[in-house]
Chain A
């Protein structure tokens, strides 16, 4: 995945500073609908000024979690603190929170301007200021000339931007966005992503954003929580989530991944060695894991971290230890090539029968590419490429 974070590497990472108090604290929150557990003992700490992404499949409980933060659902168990205040019993209209609804929930009988001005009017903001702020925010979402229209006269993407403007205009301390950019085309989405990050940095708003789109989560967020069936599978920075997934679910949910199974045969402080039938070679990984020797574990290797070659790879000095005795080297036959322009995806069938996915940048033109269908190729990767999945 060729994704670059929009923001500069964060200088301060509040979640690593024990002196920092989280702005939002979710403590063992569970929500059940009848017998169905929609959110299951979720605990999260989100810090002021964070851009926190909730990522997960459909029905994994993301919206339900947001609705509890906004006050539309009461947790069956657990507590929610915002800025240190227990939110139990505090109605939505008294919370320092604005939410953008997945269904937009625009008022059909009001014009775009009236929709956006609604929240400001409730706060008794002066007329002139309302006009100015509504105008500014509509310009920001590029709907300046649509102010007099009714929601049903807008396209889906335009409606989404009205909903976004309506939740932004109040400059809340905490903004909950439920799939804010889903209906926008790619270019507008990228622009709006930049704008959101800008707004967030300028106003210091704390964002919690639900998204289906992993690329969006990777580029925008300071941290990501991956949800699965109401449970938080993993929380971490985009890099952590991508490079060090803890479970198979997370590894497979974000980006694509090759999974190998194997047995730990050597566990040292600076590396592990895993014997894998799947891969047809030993897997050498230069980080320690907290599993007993002999245990069966999964190893994830991202497709872009695997190198393809027609000749056996030469052991570079740095890889000597890793690739000795054919570690991290296996071979197979190219079964499928998908040309995507900037990269190509190769599906290679190993001798063991397993199919491995490899992506490689297209350095040369397609017609000159050395590897084609049914070629026998070697696959190799470096010691840092593999991740042992501990869960």
Chain B
């Protein structure tokens, strides 16, 4: 056995390299192909609720057996033809973009402050950023419901200060979704940003100041360009999962908060239309592959350009 593996180069170093590929094959490519297959089939009332792609047609009279492959592209055509899906995609992108920008605007100063803190304080501060992960995601979202609902914490505070007189509800709106998602994904922004900012050599800023550069300009000409890899990494880490987000918009969003994750859920569980749901998922995936490729391209260029 080992001999055989050796002969095909799958031993020793080959093994080590093969493991991630096996992992990808098993847990990404195979499910992807299954979902892709379902997306090309036809919905029907059965168990499972779709027609098989490949069928053996046995004709006993003629005594022949035929292999039948049915590819149904109508699921994809439906995606393009129905406003609902296009709107859901666009809205998902919008919400993901707003979330990413909010995370960046909040996360950059946080990461900067932590990176500039005394070395002994950096660890504990980063710990605080990651700490929310230790409690269940759902519990944290429910906590936000308590904060944002009518007569919740925010509402009461606003009424108490006299800024508003009537009870008003942030919950079940796009705003609540932005708040909830920014909250959830903030650590994913802070971590890579912190990693790049912490590596930044402070004497570079001293050199800039020495050459007559004011602090804000030094930030724009030195700190910002040098932290670009962190900004890109953090933004993608926030953006990609945000597009397909389901739980937060479901719990905090209003009925008109249309996101692709919710559409997917509805197709799968409410309509039991697996083929369409699969087509939605495949389209979403293709849609995410593009940013990843852009990211890797930029990253590759960055590493090439040195540091």
Bound-state Cα–Cα, A226 to B230, Å: 45
Bound-state Cα–Cα, A108 to B208, Å: 12
Shortest CB–CB separation between residue A177 and chain B, in angstroms?
12
| Most chain A CB neighbours (cut-off 10 Å) among B212, B213, B215 | B212
A80-118 vs B, CB cutoff 8 Å, 1 = contact: the mask equals 000000000001110001110101011111000000001
Say yes or no: A92-B209 contact (C-beta < 8 A), given A105-B201, A109-B305, A152-B307: yes
| Most chain A CB neighbours (cut-off 10 Å) among B209, B213, B221, B226 | B209
Interface residues of A in 122-143 (CB under 8 A from B): 122-123
Interface residues of B in 197-231 (CB under 8 A from A): 201, 203-204, 206-215, 217, 221-222, 225-226
Q: Is the CB of A122 within 8 A of B206?
A: no
Interface flag for B255 (CB, 8 Å)? no
Q: Is the CB of B307 within 8 A of A97?
A: no
Q: Is the CB of B210 within 8 A of A118?
A: no
Say yes or no: A92-B206 contact (C-beta < 8 A), given A107-B222, A153-B306: yes
Bound-state Cα–Cα, A91 to B307, Å: 29
Q: Is the CB of B222 within 8 A of A101?
A: no
Q: Is the CB of B212 within 8 A of A109?
A: no
Interface residues of A in 55-94 (CB under 8 A from B): 70-72, 91-93
Q: Is the CB of A152 within 8 A of B306?
A: yes
Shortest CB–CB separation between residue B222 and chain A, in angstroms?
6
Complex interface: chain A residues within 8 A of B201 (CB)? 103, 105
Complex interface: chain B residues within 8 A of A105 (CB)? 201, 203-204, 206-207
Residue of B nearest to A118 (CB): B211
Complex interface: chain A residues within 8 A of B214 (CB)? 93
Complex interface: chain B residues within 8 A of A151 (CB)? 306
Interface flag for A305 (CB, 8 Å)? no
Q: Is the CB of A98 within 8 A of B222?
A: no
Q: Is the CB of B225 within 8 A of A93?
A: no
Say yes or no: A107-B204 contact (C-beta < 8 A), given A119-B212, A152-B306: yes
Q: Is the CB of A101 within 8 A of B207?
A: yes
Of A103, A122, A152, A153, which one neighbours B212 at CB under 8 angstroms?
A122
Complex interface: chain A residues within 8 A of B307 (CB)? 108, 152
Q: Is the CB of B211 within 8 A of A108?
A: no
Q: Is the CB of B210 within 8 A of A97?
A: yes
Shortest CB–CB separation between residue B226 and chain A, in angstroms?
6
Q: Is the CB of B305 within 8 A of A93?
A: no
Bound-state Cα–Cα, A119 to B207, Å: 9
Complex interface: chain B residues within 8 A of A166 (CB)? 207, 211
Complex interface: chain A residues within 8 A of B226 (CB)? 108-109
Q: Is the CB of A93 within 8 A of B204?
A: no
Shortest CB–CB separation between residue A101 and chain B, in angstroms?
6
Shortest CB–CB separation between residue B249 and chain A, in angstroms?
39
Q: Is the CB of A150 within 8 A of B306?
A: yes
Of A71, A93, A152, A153, which one neighbours B213 at CB under 8 angstroms?
A93
Say yes or no: A93-B203 contact (C-beta < 8 A), given A108-B226, A152-B307, A153-B306: no
Residue of B nearest to A117 (CB): B211
Bound-state Cα–Cα, A150 to B225, Å: 15
Shortest CB–CB separation between residue A264 and chain B, in angstroms?
51
Q: Is the CB of A93 within 8 A of B207?
A: no
Q: Is the CB of A170 within 8 A of B204?
A: no
Shortest CB–CB separation between residue B299 and chain A, in angstroms?
15
Complex interface: chain A residues within 8 A of B217 (CB)? 122
Bound-state Cα–Cα, A152 to B226, Å: 14
Bound-state Cα–Cα, A151 to B213, Å: 20
Bound-state Cα–Cα, A70 to B201, Å: 18
Q: Is the CB of B211 within 8 A of A98?
A: yes
| Most chain B CB neighbours (cut-off 10 Å) among A93, A97, A103, A119 | A93
Shortest CB–CB separation between residue A165 and chain B, in angstroms?
12
Residue of A nearest to B307 (CB): A108
Say yes or no: A123-B206 contact (C-beta < 8 A), given A107-B222, A108-B306: no
Shortest CB–CB separation between residue B231 and chain A, in angstroms?
13
Bound-state Cα–Cα, A303 to B225, Å: 57
Q: Is the CB of B206 within 8 A of A72?
A: yes
Bound-state Cα–Cα, A71 to B212, Å: 12
Bound-state Cα–Cα, A92 to B204, Å: 13
Residue of A nearest to B204 (CB): A105
Of A71, A91, A152, A170, which one neighbours B211 at CB under 8 angstroms?
A170
* Known contacts A98-B211, A107-B204, A152-B307; 17 further A-B pairs (Cβ under 8 A): A72-B206, A92-B209, A93-B209, A97-B210, A98-B210, A99-B207, A99-B210, A101-B207, A105-B201, A105-B207, A107-B207, A108-B306, A108-B307, A118-B208, A118-B211, A122-B213, A122-B217
Closest 3 CB pairs of A and B: A119-B211, A122-B212, A105-B207
User: Could you jot down 28 A-B contacts, CB within 8 Å?
Assistant: A72-B206, A72-B210, A93-B209, A93-B211, A93-B212, A98-B210, A99-B210, A101-B206, A105-B201, A105-B203, A107-B204, A107-B208, A107-B222, A108-B204, A108-B226, A108-B306, A108-B307, A109-B225, A109-B305, A118-B208, A118-B221, A122-B212, A122-B213, A122-B217, A123-B212, A150-B306, A166-B207, A166-B211
